[in-house]
Structure 1
Amino acid sequence: MTEERFLWFKARDKTPVRQIKSFYRSHYDDSALKVTLNVHQQQVDDSKFLADLDSFHDRFIVFTTQSPLPAPPAPLPSSQLFVPEYRPNLMLGLSSAPSYSDESGTSRRTIGSASHTQSTSTASVLLGGNESRTVVHTALKELLTERSPERLEYAVQKGLATLKEIEQHLYTLSKDPDARKWLVTVAEVREMASKNRTVIGVAGNTGAGKSSVINAVLEEERLVPTNCMRACTAVVTEMCYNESNDPSSPYRAEIEFVQPDDWRRELAILFEEVFDGAGSINKDVHNSESIAGVAYAKMRAVYHNHTREMLQSSNINQLMATKSVIDVLGTVKRISSGDCASFYQRLQHYVDSKQKPGSDQHVKNAQKRELELWPLIKVVRIYTKAEALSTGAVLVDLPGVHDSNAARAAVADSYMKECTGLWIVAPITRAVDDKAAKNLLGNSFKRQLKYDGTYSAVTFICSKTDDISRTEAIDSLHLDTRMAGLLGERSEIDRSKLEINEEHARLRNDRESNDDEMHKYEEQIDHLDDELSNISIGNMPYDTGAPNNKRKHAIEAEEASLTDGVPLTAQQKHDKIESLKQLKRTARQNGRRLRERMEQFQRQLVDLEARKVEVDASLDAFCIEGRNEWSRARIREDFAEGIKELDQENAAQENPEEFDPNHDVRDYENVARSLPVFCVSSRAYQKLSGRLQHDGEVVGFSSKSQTEIPQLQAHCRKLTEGGRQAGCTRFLNRLNQLLTSLSLWASDDMSDSSVDSQQRISFKSSLAKNLLQFERGLEVGVDQTMDDVVEILEAQLFGEFAAAANAAASAADSTVSSWGAPMENGGLFWATYKATVRRKGIFAGSSGTRNFNVELTDPLYKGLSTPWDQAFHRRLPAVIQSFSIGAVTTLRQFHDAVESDCKEYGLGVSRIARLEDNIIVFETAFEELSKAMTINVNEAQREINREFTPSVASAMDPVYTVCGAENGRGSFQRMKQHMATHIATHQSSMFEDATTMVRNNINSMCEQARRTMHGRVHHVQEAISRDYLTILGDEHSKNRAVSNVEKTARRDIEDVINESEVSFREALECDLDQLASVGGKRSDIDREDTSAPLI
């Protein structure tokens, strides 16, 4: 028996037949299903558009497998989920109304059914009819559970295209208030499709190979700016994907300069360090490593036309007025290029230092110096087409958060707060020995990770894995047993080479002796030939020009031994010559054999040497891999151990009586396992990629994967997946909500003749009451959630502030004393001390970075790290997320109440069924709202948890000023006394003030979060209210004549929404590998301007 199947499909004039067929197949999940479309019993070609069909009218398409049946006596209703309960009659000719089967006709199946018994379907055009034309939208809902970022991004492209079409139709209703509101909503949803940035900070000490690693990841030989002195090590460099399609500018950069006030502050410090108390230039300026030398280099770089005398006679205002400086301060310079080499050179013009400090020591006139801008640079942003950045990753080369330049230090710190990932780079030769993962940038850095909740964001990169000593690796890693085969083969090669060389040497000696014999035979033959020639012309045998005495005696001795001293006759000499020639031939043959054997040995030596190179490469690769795996394991253990020590330190300080060192706060084995560690060789990768042509070969690597750079590139892309998934899902969920609401609005027929006015009034009153109750329920939920948040902060965190402040105050005296202690006891050199107070407690010198403010607040951070972590990263997220559960319960109660009214008053029964399906959309909206609020709170606390130190720095500012003004004999002692007196006076109040300020800021954050949450909840509530008010129909339109333009626009919008199901189905079912090959790059739809002019 043939099973009948229907699908109502509403299409537009420009819809091709091919698309209709595709839609039909997708709904029945059968790509092989044969589908034909017939008009007047004639099959229509796939390339045709519905506008080409003469019978096209009202755009109702029905697919069926059966012949037409008689029409029922009256029109019958339809619903969203099912096709009509009665079978439509497919007209063989034109008519003004459809025909239906009677109630005993074949029962209908749901649209989503995949069962069928007949492989061929036909389609005909149905003319007229007022049934619901809404297509069931399942593809978009299914996409909301998709995890592939490539598929989701493809769906976002489809969604943006749908929004653009909807927007165009809404603009035809420029005077309609509803349309204007919808336009605002469409714009808001479109903005949600913006690409997420995944910021990855790259940190590491000088010489760690950061720039080389970044260049390799970006597939460039030289892109990240470098500098022989110090310029680029002080500049934050950001690498982003270049979204521009301009073929002439695949490489772009923005160089942002510091603001005038920032440079004025730094210039004041430079003046103090370059000039002594008498106003003369400090004698240390020509020592490039001294504080004065560094300061002088900066001044001479910027004020290149100033001689020493001119600088000495200038003041800050005069230098600030220099035109070349005014022209760049506070500006952003942009450069672009079509190739990397020229781009790099142009970029170096800004960041490179062309003059080393002290190099103009004996130069009075420095007119030939060039302006150098590196001291004035705040941040460099580079845009490139690197595949590793194509999915939204942003690599930031961080010079350190304690730059001596305050503006750059602020930039570095702001990036640290924004970082989704943090890459730590250290040379593999030092990474384990220095316990870099455990002692990474000190405890304060690890503690900051805990405050930010970013332990899991850390990735460790061991660089320079090609730098290896095979002997040391074999001994230290005990690889001799595992490498016994290769080591044995190499020893055998060496032994064989030795034997062959020895045999080759013997053969060489034999060949030399053989050559001597041949030479002797040739001389004897020549001598005898000469004698025979003399005889033939009548001369005596001994009258010829005889050979030299030595040769003559040798020949005569030979002849005497053969003739017993009797002179040879001519015949004997002929015979002798023949004999010697035979001996010569034999010697020649013997020499040839010796030469062939020597050449054979030489070939064997070449083969052995080639094999030795292969074995050495394998040994190096084995050693590199062995060291990589050993280092990876040790680094993970060290990292987990560092976290454990920090946890135990906090636990012991928080509750000494209850502290149990055998109790683990967290699973440290899991902490170790979860740390991504990459052991990379950027040099080997560059060589295998055909770059670094002037460098020698790198042994131990036969493929790019062995360098682990490809794995690091993949890791870089993978870090973006979470943000991409979340961003796309938020957009698609909001789009789903919008399309559902728009569909309800667009499909409103503005009439309901079956309900009298009194029933409508009663229903409207009840609906208003339910809406108000729903709104108040959500408001109560928000307030209760935020009250719980405040309560947790009071109990979990604020109660610990006093103890932490007291601990910091108690430690302040010893901390300050340590700065002025003798150098052998860890104290500072007087010049370093003074440079630090001049810079408000922060100085990065040749001996490292010191931050007095951080050192003072470190005990406070210690005391609060655990309660802060528990409050913000464990308790608050759960509380905020619980709001969505209560909100959904409130929504369902509201829906049930409205549904009951619909049944009671007989109004909007079909619409309430559609709205029930839409509840899941708003459930997701509430869940996304809770997630967004959790993210907002976390971002805010990242800002606030850094405010303890600035508060203490502000309290220390007066003493820094006093100390910085000290000069002359005894100034160091006076600075230490000023510091001790200030701490003794303010040590209690400064930390109490810091905690009070942070507490106030947290409370302000909570109030702001409450207001934001109320606003966002109200926004969702308004959307829900708007949808439920459609049950009443368009009250505004009922009081006026609806124009044909408005009817057409609404109908067209409904068409777009229905047709979007095909687009989303395509996104859901398209080949994932093909999408992945695109790399998730931003599409043309993302880049084009999808906005329309405002009404």
Structure 2
Amino acid sequence: MSDLFVKEENRCLLRSPRLSSQMDVDEKFHQGSHVSTTPYSRPGQNSFVQNPEWRQHNENHLKRVLTKEKAAKDGEEALKALLNAMKAHLLLNPSYTVLSRKKTFKVLVGFLGITGAGKTTLINALIGYRNLLPSSAERACTAVVVEIAYNPSNDSDAVFRSDIVYITRDEWRDELERFFEDLEAPVARDDDQDEESDIERRERIKETFDKLKCVYPHIKSMDKLRSSSVEKLLLDPAVCNLLGTVVKVKCATKMQFSKMIKSHIDSGDSDGTSAQWPLVKLVRVFVKSEFLENGIILVDLPGNLDNNSARSAIAEHYQKELSVTCILAEAKRGISEKNAHDLLEKVTKRNLQLDGLYNAESLCFVLSQTDREFDIIEYLNSHPALKEHCAADHQKVLDLVISLKNRLKEEGAAKLVDSTNRKRVREFSTRSKDLKAQLGIASNALPPPGRNVKRSASDIDSASNVIQATAEQMASRNELAEVQKLLNDARKAYHEGAEELASLGRRVSHIRKALFHARSRIRVACIQNRNKAATTAIRRDYNETLTEMGRESSGPLEVFCVAATVHLQYLRMEPSFVHPGFPHRPDTQIGRLRDWLVSTTFPTRESYAQAFLEDVEATLDSMMPWIEDKYADHKMPVDIREQWEPQMDRELNELQNQFSQLKLRASGGFKQLVRTGLYPKMPEAEQDAVSRAKDVVEGWAKGLHWSTHRSINRNHGDWKDSRRRDHKWNGLLVHELTTPLVSSWDKTFTRTFPTERDAYVVDGQKLIADFADKVSDANFCPDVANGLAVLKDHIMRTQTLLKSQTTNTFEGVTKAIRKAHKTATPALKQFLIPIYDKCASEGGAGHYARNKALHKNTMRNRGLQMYQTGTLAIRSALDNMLESLSPSFDGIHKAILDQIREDIQLFFEQNSTNGSRRSARRVESPSKIKLQEDLLVIIDNLAQAWKSEVNTQPKQEIDDEDDEETTFDDAEFFVVDNNDEQDEDYEYKSDQD
């Protein structure tokens, strides 16, 4: 096999002619994971698939995303098939590079809220599995961070999987050592008019002891624990073998799986058995759910449950990585304009603002447990307009209650009559049987129950075989005739009474249904009114915050008023089930929340699929001429190549220089934006924060027991106290520093940075287009005009590479920006550690007053220095990010230049009179022909797949929304047109009428 053939076959590189001109400016990027949904432009016209389905500008966003994702999967499979086909031929192919650039979509959706807000129940409802994750209506349940993702496994024994991540030995040692320090410390008292003992210490001991009893069930008392030690507890075989490990759990059924993971998640009573949740810091759950199939990962973040440092660190890490944040609050709190701003904790809200995630695309509020009982009468009295709206139904309820009472009374009387009639029938029937036995008359001669059959005296005579009767027999005969008549009358009365009782039962049932529906209409009106008021208040606070940031809303903030428990009830109950406050399942708003969460993924999923599809298309188009064996008939002579190739090299060097200049301009522009738009604001922000810091530290001590104050100092400013209040002293101080910076920060990084990034892409694409025009001038050698058209097309394709590489680079830039502002909190904490330690060690008379004074004096005397430490940390992180831009741009440019060099080299190799400068032979081998045939089949199959339409209908699941609505219409429960004379009163009429 000649060198030419080896080179030719190993590169697979003669590319199809595709004429293209400079494209219009690419659509704008959106910062972060949200990118433009404008349909993409095609770089060329002569693709191996003309107008594939994924290039159609479908208005249905869901269909557009699903179509591209399906096409991307088809393209991925095609590339893998190509690689397998070419392995036998020792081919090296750009397919590897393309596959390595394919990005897997993943979006973290976090649920934040206080303990008991219903986060776990909501997640169970979203994924459609009742009681998969342990939850409780009576107590806080989830103690660890739980990540819920899609399970791609097809193993029938692993339908449900989880990874249990345990804390390390050092992390458990730290908690044990803190416990024994508390246990052995002398009981401290403060004599500042407060004779109470150290409440926080006592609660810490109790809380940790409860956890230790879960882990070590043999420890039943505090005395038993005192006799142990840190080392002994660490060496316990049941514990030491778990610390620092990841245990994998898999089950075939939900019930079995839920039972197995309960002890790792649920902080409830362990019933004397071992529970491992205190040793667990993270549980990853994998389930089959269409909702999760496209990359959504739900994160259940526990509320303010305990102070374990490992679990707190994991929760903090996840909060930093969230793409979408769902803030949960209980609806029973009664959200209004007065307290709406309290739903989102100050530090969390500030982080969202500085992360560029305080927007309607990345944030939503969820009012949970809207189905919980509340005082309807009190609510109506406090809302006069609503009360008037419900007046008719309220009156109907009163009337129905009276009617029901009367009907029940009638029904009770009818039941007594029915009982009497039954008794009389039974008595007469017994006497009739006795008399017939005396007279020798068969029992079956009696008419069956319920039939009014008269018997004559001749019948009785006949039954007695007309034997001459004695006087006693004659008396019995007469008595039998009388009893038979009474029995017939009793049976008739019983039948009539039973019909009346049944009629009354139907009337009572209908009245009960009407009463249920009237009350339900009132309840629905109250729930909807409460939801509307809460939604309005939350949105008003959101818009006010945007105004403070100097931004306008891009759309209304989504507020979901959900009833997760009711949603799950609808999944398991009979189709006839109707909840009084939610007449049909969509009213629970679980489906609406699920649809919104899925819609937030569309832009990023589309951009990932689009980028990969462009790569696949370019790769396959480049291979088609080689596969189809299409070579140009005309070649350039060697002397022309010798003149032209150096000229190409010079042009490429010039492009490299132009990219270098573009890099300098772009990186300098970004630095200028930060150093003029943000840094000058920092000194003023420091001064402003110092002026408010004294009030902040004074606020720390308000309503705070001295022992809680000491505990927070002991833990360097971060602590959850015995009342489950979360204290973030360092974060609150940083909040004052960043308040004056929010507007400038948002303008610089959320609005101006994307504009500069887009300008960089446009400039880079223009350089590529100008270079393509220069090097594809057919006048130099008209014989290879077709080859030049191919070369230009492939050079123009690097515009897409520039765009995708820039997107990847700025995803990293966004992460760096989000980390930068968070460096202030640890910087301030480090600055204040000596102060915290001094306060934690204080004791004796007046120590609480001294500690409070020390905090105030620190802010007064060293506050500016403290805040300068914070801004220095922020600036240092931002400077590092800005300095990284230049090498990042170099990497982008290198990828483009390498691709163009390869394209130019291939152009010369395939369009010269001799494929190399040493040989003019063209070698045809059977292996090449076989490879060409195999690859063509794969590509043809992909072409057919790309022409097919995607099905946008959701998979049929047990929790698909039912479009049939259930209403509270009285007409459904009253028989208005009834021909039964006995039931004419089924049409409801008030007893007042």
Same fold by TM-score greater than 0.5: yes
Query: Which aligned pairs between 1:799-814 and structure 2 lie closer than 5 A?
Result: 799-814=680-695
Q: Equivalences for 1:169-318 in 2 at 5 Å?
A: 169-172=85-88, 174=90, 180=92, 182=93, 185-226=94-135, 233-277=142-186, 290-302=203-215, 308-309=222-223, 311-312=225-226, 316=230
Question: Counterpart of 2:366?
Answer: 461
Matching residue within 250, 258, 271 for 1:344: 258
Quote how far apart the aligned CAs of 1:769 are: 1.1
Residue 1038 (structure 1) aligns with: 916
Aligned residue for 1:721?
602
Distance verdict in 2 for CA 1:209–1:518, change over 3 Å: closer
Task: Write out per-residue CA displacement over residues 322-354 of structure 1, whole angstroms, 9 at most, x where no aligned residue.
Answer: 554432222111111111222122212334457
Query: 3-state SS of the aligned residue for 1:207?
Result: coil
Amino acid at match of 1:810: S
Tell me how far 1:205 sits from its aligned partner.
Answer: 1.7
After superposition, the C-alpha distances for 1:83-120 in whole angstroms (9 at most, x for unaligned) are: xxxxxxxxxxxxxxxxxxxxxxxxxxxxx99xxxxxxx
Change (3 A) 1:157 1:508: closer
Mapped to 1, the partners of 2:782 and 2:417 lie a distance apart of 120
CA distance in 1, matches of 2:86, 2:204: 66
Q: Which residue of 2 aligns with 1:990?
A: 866
- How many Å separate the matches in 1 of 2:117 and 2:154? 35
- Residues 385, 708 of structure 1: alpha-carbon distance in 2 compared, 3 angstrom cutoff: same
* Structure-2 residue corresponding to 1:1003: 879
The answer as to 2:564 corresponding to 1:682 is: yes
Structure 1 residues 503 and 192: CA distance shift in structure 2, 3 A: same
Contact 1:198–1:394, Cα closer than 8 Å, also in 2:
yes
Would you say the 8 A contact 1:521–1:583 is kept in 2?
no
The separation in 2 between residues aligned to 1:935 and 1:312, in whole angstroms, is: 52
Pairing partner for 1:426 from 322, 325, 329: 329
- Across the aligned residues of Structure 1 and Structure 2, the Cα RMSD in angstroms comes to 4.5
What amino acid sits opposite 1:683 in the alignment?
A: T
Contact 1:298 1:375 in 2 (8 A): yes
Residues 151-162 of structure 1 correspond to what in structure 2 (within 5 A)?
151-162=67-78
Residues 337 and 343 of structure 1 are in contact (CA less than 8 Å); yes or no, is this contact kept in structure 2?
Answer: yes
**Which SS does the other structure have where 1:1033 is aligned?**
helix
Equivalent-residue separation in structure 2 for 1:518 and 1:689 (angstroms): 49
Counterpart residue type for residue 797 of structure 1: L
Inter-partner Cα distance in structure 2 for 1:1046 and 1:277: 92
Which residue, 807, 812, 819 being the options, matches 1:936?
812
1:677 counterpart SS class: strand
Determine the C-alpha separation between the residues in 1 that align with 2:340 and 2:925.
67
- Are the counterparts in 2 of residues 198 and 723 from structure 1 also a CA contact under 8 Å? no
Q: What residue in structure 1 maps to residue 314 of structure 2?
A: 411
What code does the residue aligned with 1:990 have? M
Equivalent in the alignment of 2:585: 704
> Shift of residue 244 of structure 1?
1.1
Query: Which stretch shifts more, 1063-1072 or 411-420?
Result: 1063-1072
Question: Is contact 1:843-1:850 (8 Å) kept?
Answer: yes
**Residue 71 of structure 2 aligns to which amino acid in structure 1?**
A
In structure 2, relative to structure 1, the CA distance for the partners of 1:1053 and 1:837 (3 Å cut) is farther
Question: What is the CA–CA distance in structure 1 between the aligned matches of 2:154 and 2:240, rounded to whole Å?
Answer: 34
Distance across 1 between alignment mates of 2:839 and 2:560? 46
1:388–1:716 contact (8 Å) kept in structure 2: no
| Match status 1:378 vs 2:281 | yes
Q: CA deviation at 1:993?
A: 1.3
Distance in 2 between residues matched to 1:1031 and 1:519, nearest whole Å: 110
Contact 1:227 1:353 in 2 (8 A): no
SS, match of residue 908 in structure 1: helix
CA contact (8 A) 1:620 1:700 kept: no
Q: How does 1:332-371 map to 2 (within 5 A)?
A: 332-353=246-267, 371=274
Percent identity between the aligned chains?
Answer: 22
Task: Describe the superposition over 1:660-719 as per-residue Cα deviations: whole angstroms up to 9, x where unpaired.
Answer: xxxxx4445x65xx32233332222222222799xx995444543333333333334333
CA distance in 2: counterparts of 1:701 and 1:218, whole angstroms? 20
Change in Cα spacing, 1:266 to 1:799, as seen in structure 2 (3 Å) is: farther
Structure with more relative contact order (C-alpha pairs < 8 Å, separation 6 or more) = 2
Q: Tell me by how many angstroms 1:792 deviates.
A: 0.8
Superposed CA deviations along residues 974-1018 of structure 1, whole A, max 9, x for unmatched, are 443544454445322121011111111111112223322320232
Name the CA distance, whole Å, in 2 between partners of 1:169 and 1:396.
Answer: 42
Pair 1:1019 & 2:935 matched: no
Q: Could you report, residue by residue, the CA deviation over 1:953-984 in whole angstroms, capped at 9, with x for unpaired residues? A: 11112222233333455543444354445444
Q: SS where residue 208 of structure 1 aligns? A: coil
* Kept in 1: contact 2:365–2:558 (CA 8 A): yes
Larger Rg: 1
**Amino acid in the other structure paired with 1:727:** Y
Alignment of 1:434-473 (within 5 A): 437-454=340-357, 455-456=359-360, 457-469=362-374, 470-472=376-378
**TM-score normalised to the size of structure 2?**
0.77
Unaligned runs of 5+ in 1: 1-77, 83-111, 114-133, 360-368, 530-573, 652-664, 821-825, 1080-1095
Letter paired with 1:789: F
Distance 1:916 1:1078 in 2: 49
1:1028-1077 CA-to-partner distances (Å, cap 9, x unmatched) read 33221169961566999996676666656655554444334323227854
Shift of 1:268: 3.6
| 2:948 pairs with 1:1070 | yes
The answer as to whether partners of 1:401 and 1:410 remain within 8 angstroms in 2 is no
Using the alignment, how far apart are the partners of 1:211 and 1:233 within structure 2? 7
Amino acid at match of 2:761: S
- Structure 1 residue 850 displacement after superposition: 0.6
The structure-2 alpha-carbon separation of the partners of 1:79 and 1:923, relative to structure 1 and needing over 3 Å to count, comes to closer
The answer (yes or no) to whether the contact 1:619–1:700 under 8 Å persists in 2 is: no
Moved more, 832-841 or 191-200: 191-200
SS in 1 for 2:158: coil
User: Which of 858, 880, 890 is matched with 2:767 structurally?
Assistant: 890
| One-letter amino acid of the structure 2 residue matched with residue 931 of structure 1 | T
Within the candidate set 138, 141, 144, 2:50 is matched to 138
Report how many aligned residue pairs link the two structures.
863
Which amino acid letter does the alignment assign opposite residue 413 of structure 1?
E
Question: One-letter code of the match for 1:404?
Answer: N
Query: Would the aligned equivalents of 2:791 and 2:907 in 1 still touch at CA under 8 Å?
Result: no
Contact 2:159 2:253 in 1 (8 A): yes
| C-alpha deviation, 1:626, in angstroms | 3.2
Which of 504, 508, 528 lines up with 1:609 in the alignment? Answer: 508
1:543-582 matches, cutoff 5 A: none
How far residue 493 of structure 1 moved from its aligned partner, in angstroms, is 4.3
1:643 partnered with 2:542: yes
Structure 1 stretch displaced more, 920-929 or 330-339: 920-929
CA 1:906–1:1056: 2 relative to 1, 3 Å: farther
Partners of 2:230 and 2:843 in 1: how far apart?
Answer: 20
Q: CA contact under 8 A between 2:776 and 2:791: conserved in structure 1?
A: no
What is the distance in 2 between the residues matched to 1:751 and 1:412?
Answer: 62
- TM-fit CA distance, 1:763: 0.9
Cα drift, residue 201 of structure 1: 0.4
Q: Determine which of 953, 964, 971 is the counterpart of 2:829.
A: 953
Name stretches of at least 5 consecutive residues in structure 2 with no aligned partner.
Answer: 1-14, 20-43, 190-195, 436-472, 958-993
Q: What whole-Å deviation, never above 9, does each CA across 1:543-594 have from its counterpart, x for those lacking one?
A: xxxxxxxxxxxxxxxxxxxxxxxxxxxxxxx999999999999988886676
- For 1:62, the equivalent position in structure 2 comes to none
Alignment-mate amino acid for residue 297 of structure 1: D
TM-score computed with the length of structure 1 as normaliser: 0.70
